[in-house]
Amino acid sequence: MPVSYDNGDERHAQILVLPMSAAPDGRIEHVVIVGGVAGGMSTATRLRRLDAGVKITVIERSGHVSFANCGLPYFVGGLIEEEDDLTLQTPEQLFDRFRLDVRVNDEVVAIDRDDHFVRTRSMTTGEEHVVPYDKLVLSMGAAPVRPPIPGYERVRTLRTVEDAARLASDVDVAPTTAVVIGAGFIGLEMAENLVAQGIDVTIVEATPQVLPPLDPEMAILVSDELTAHGVHVETGVTLASVEDTTVTLADGRVLPADLVVGAIGVRPDVRLAELAILDLGPSGGIAVNEANQTNDPDVYAVGDAVEKPDAISHATSLIALANVANRQGRRVADHIAGRASHPVASLGTAIVKVFDVVAATVGWNESRLRAAGRSYRAIHSHPFDHATYYPGATRMAAKLIFDPDDGAILGAQIVGRNGVDKRIDVIATAMASGMRADQLADLELAYAPPFSSAKDPVNLLGYMAENILSGDCDVVAPNELAGLVEVGWSVVDVRTAEEHEHGAIEGSTNVPIDTLRDNLDAMGSGPVVVYCEVGQRGHTATALLHELGFEARNLDGGYQTWLASMRARAKATMAPVP
């Protein structure tokens, strides 16, 4: 197969032809970027703004660069109608505006770190070229996990524009049933968009819940939304095989599946790094320093293939988020251009729309904190997204996790219909600035009745954290309640009689809060767990009982959080809700 030394073709004649190595004065003259989506293209365009003369070559193995991969499910669902709408820039546009030499359908097959060149192969002609570099940036992203399951070759995945086009073509054939393997962010987006195309969808998830980054009592709310829109949700079960029109689960059940979509996660694409003998980190991604340099200072790496510093543990982990990749690309361009560059730990902020519900998360969840042996406190609230007297107010479920000693915010999760995005972003910003959980109470956030309440949901979480950290209030987690009852605690429901009759914790005594002072005998002589619908009246009742000499604690998040927790546990264990 012919191999040629490539310094640019006639189409790119305006780009300077450069020698194999850097100039004698050490000036960087040629930067090669492998991968032309988020991280790679951010590096290229930022570097061009900083240096008008450096030659920049971008090599992308797919047929598109600078495309909106987060929009791919919505193209399959028909919400985005034109494939061209997914492409933010074409190679020709990038050349005209930035003088970037962008080569699509071209694959890097080898890296020679000693002589500073990469070997490429055309995906269409098979022709190979050698492209020199002074600095090399790897931004290969991640590849969908494809497990060794019989028949899995029929399973469609969604990572590139080409993937989306193939899947859209499959949908055009008018399948009646589809199975989505995996209930993470992409899996849920795919389920929603396939339903939008009139397809009967089943989600199969190996873990006991949908959206594993959320804690169970929050994820169950997303599962409810899926079920309400006709999606069949199968959790705690794996895929055994894929047939022509069906799939078989590990428990032996056979599900109809004209179409099968795999969304069980991604793994970092480190093939080139391994070929170039670059170091990998403990999670299997490319190891980089604070400037995103690999163990070779002339080779950088950004994006989903790279291990990132985690803001909670300060160790490295794999976080596949487009905004993180873009940020890394910008910082690498700064470093190559000789500017000061600072590392930023990742919080893992993420959000997903599932039909009419939005779920968002930042930081760590409880299960991850428990696995790490980290102490924490968790609080729940159920505020409205805006003032209740203004039409259209809807409740959200909000959860804040913080360190019980210093108040550091460790994570947050919010599920609701409106206003979820801005609240999770406020908390993410607070975490990035090092604010304590109780300091959320003091944030001066925009307020008008259509947008919020005078006490924003974020402020409310801050007040709750302040009460706990100061010792003014102690809460009982839903999973602690049964243990307290066993050792003699009584449970009192301070809601109205009508609310109690509609649904209550078994064995609880109903003493409405407005009659509490007149019914202290109902408290008994022992300690009391108080609850209401969402925790607010319970907090007031607990404070009153404390003043009257009772030992009392408030049930965190009230009946709503307790019920969600019990339902999630029942779903995971197939046990009835008490």
232 against 164, higher pLDDT: 232
Residues 6+ apart with CB under 8 A from 33: 40, 41, 43, 44, 56, 57, 58, 59, 136, 137, 139
Q: Answer yes or no: do 126 and 15 share one domain.
A: yes
Q: Answer yes or no: do 458 and 483 share one domain.
A: no
The neighbouring-strand residues paired with 360 are 351, 414
Hey, which residues are catalytic here? 70
Q: Answer yes or no: do 127 and 240 share one domain.
A: no
CA 255 from chain center: how many Å? 29
Evaluate whether residue 345 is within a structural domain: no
Q: Answer yes or no: do 118 and 210 share one domain.
A: no
Q: Answer yes or no: do 431 and 487 share one domain.
A: no
> What counts of helices (H) and strands (E) characterise the chain?
15, 30
Helices 322-336 + 38-50 axis angle, to 10: 30
pTM of the model: 0.90
* Average pLDDT score over the chain: 90
Evaluate whether residue 378 is within a structural domain: yes
pLDDT at residue 164 in the model:
87
Work out the percent of the chain whose per-residue pLDDT is above 70.
94
Q: What is the CATH number of the domain that holds 430?
A: 3.50.50.60
pLDDT at residue 9 in the model:
42
Q: Answer yes or no: do 106 and 173 share one domain.
A: no
Residue 303 has pLDDT above 70, yes or no: yes
Range of the domain at 555: 475-573
DSSP for 191-216, written as a single string: HHHHHHTT-EEEEEESSSSSSTTS-H
Strand arrangement of the beta sheet that strand 135-138 belongs to: 101-103, 55-59, 30-34, 135-138, 299-301
> Of 336, 364, 395, which residue sits at a domain end?
336
3-class secondary-structure state, position 280: strand
Q: Answer yes or no: do 297 and 445 share one domain.
A: no
> Of 264, 285, 312, which residue sits at a domain end?
264
- Nearest to residue 281, comparing CAs of 296, 290, 271, 294? 294
Q: Answer yes or no: do 159 and 288 share one domain.
A: no
pLDDT at residue 37 in the model:
85
Evaluate whether residue 578 is within a structural domain: no
pLDDT tens sequence across 446-478: 999 999 999 999 999 999 999 999 988 889 999
pLDDT at residue 25 in the model:
57
DSSP for 49-98, written as a single string: HH-SSSEEEEE-SSS-SSB-GGGHHHHHTTSS--GGGGBS--HHHHHHHH
Q: How would you label 286-307 residue by residue, b for 16+ Cβ within 10 Å and e otherwise?
A: bbbeeebbbbbeebbbbbbbbb
Evaluate whether residue 351 is within a structural domain: no
Residue range 192-201: average pLDDT?
A: 96
Evaluate whether residue 95 is within a structural domain: yes
Evaluate whether residue 343 is within a structural domain: no
pLDDT at residue 165 in the model:
87
Residue 288 has pLDDT above 90, yes or no: yes
pLDDT at residue 574 in the model:
65
Q: Answer yes or no: do 139 and 277 share one domain.
A: yes
Q: Answer yes or no: do 367 and 431 share one domain.
A: yes
Evaluate whether residue 349 is within a structural domain: no
pLDDT tens sequence across 97-128: 889 999 999 999 999 999 999 999 999 999 99
Residue 69 has pLDDT above 80, yes or no: no
Helices 216-228 + 185-196 axis angle, to 10: 10
**Per-range mean pLDDT, top range of 160-174, 298-312, 332-346:** 298-312
pLDDT at residue 160 in the model:
81
Amino acid 250 reads: A
Backbone angles phi and psi of 544, in degrees to 5 = -65, -45
The 8-class DSSP code of residue 294 comes to -
Residue 515 has pLDDT above 70, yes or no: yes
Residue 142 has pLDDT above 60, yes or no: yes
Q: Answer yes or no: do 12 and 118 share one domain.
A: yes
pLDDT tens sequence across 229-245: 999 999 999 999 999 99
**Per-range mean pLDDT, top range of 262-266, 316-320, 322-326, 528-532:** 528-532
pLDDT at residue 550 in the model:
92
The neighbouring-strand residues paired with 246 are 256
Kind and range of the H or E run holding 331: helix 322-336
> Of 264, 283, 307, which residue sits at a domain end?
264
Q: What is the CATH number of the domain that holds 524?
A: 3.40.250.10
- The number of domains in the chain is 4
Cα gap 313→289, rounded to integer Å: 17
Taking a C-beta distance cutoff of 8 angstroms, is the pair 347, 411 a contact?
no
pLDDT tens sequence across 389-444: 999 999 999 999 999 999 999 999 999 999 999 999 999 999 999 999 999 999 99
Work out the percent of the chain whose per-residue pLDDT is above 90.
77
Strands 117-122 and 128-132 come out as antiparallel
Q: Answer yes or no: do 328 and 366 share one domain.
A: no
Strands 106-112 and 117-122 come out as antiparallel
Cα gap 381→534, rounded to integer Å: 6
Evaluate whether residue 130 is within a structural domain: yes
